[in-house]
Amino acid sequence: MKNTLKVFLFAVSCLALLSLQVLADEGHMDRCNMMMKNMKMRANMEMDDLFFMKTHYILANGAEINLTEDQETKIKELVYSAKKAVIMQDAAIESLELDIMQAFMKSPIDVNAINGLIDNKYAAKASKAKDLVAAYVNLQKILTKDQQNKLKDMWMASMTGDMTCGMTDKDHEKAESHEMMMPKPYKKQ
């Protein structure tokens, strides 16, 4: 009897969900699904990943926002310097993590030494975050207000599926396979 009731409730729930799906505006559902996917993706990304994704988006859509060669060069230089700084800071953070693990191996454990290493690790993380905020500010200074507004409009249009964001089908395939999530540093010319 209990199993029959469970099966019946499950079937009713499935039918209710299916009927809601059919009644829902298909475009609205696509937009909501795309926005939810974007929110989940961004929630799992680090601040540096978001910065590099944004710069890649700007460079990929340079023609649509009338990006000048000078602006493009400045953005590439900013990406290069930010990427180099992130690599160095990540190495310092990882090194401090190893030092903390090594300090735990000693007997007796020196609490003050470990606390100092922990303080250094989080100071390095804070420094990295502050440097990325400065990079964001510098990125905004490179773009005009019109370009910033155009990018916002393009981003919202891409979220609703109204445009392709300046990406080809091949780019979309790479993005889905996470090959384009973090661009490689651009070489200075």
161 closest CA partner among 23, 22, 34: 34
pLDDT digits (tens, 9 = 90+) for 99-136: 999 999 999 999 999 999 999 999 999 999 999 999 99
116 closest CA partner among 95, 91, 94, 99: 99
Q: Which residue has the higher pLDDT, 51 or 40?
A: 51
Residue 16: predicted pLDDT:
57
- Alpha helices by DSSP H, listed for 26-110, are 26-43, 47-60, 69-105
Find out whether 58 and 79 touch, Cβ atoms under 8 Å.
no
> 77-114 b/e with 16+ CB inside 10 Å = b?
ebbeebbebbeebeebbeebeebbeebeeeeeeeeeeb
- Which residues does 180 contact at the CB level (< 8 Å), separation at least 6? 56, 171, 174
pLDDT band of residue 18 (cuts 50, 70, 90) is: low
The ranges assigned to domains in the chain are: 1-44, 47-176
132 closest CA partner among 58, 60, 47: 47
Write the DSSP string, 51-75. Answer: HHHHHHHHHHTTTTTT--HHHHHHH
pLDDT digits (tens, 9 = 90+) for 20-49: 554 454 544 454 555 555 555 556 678 888
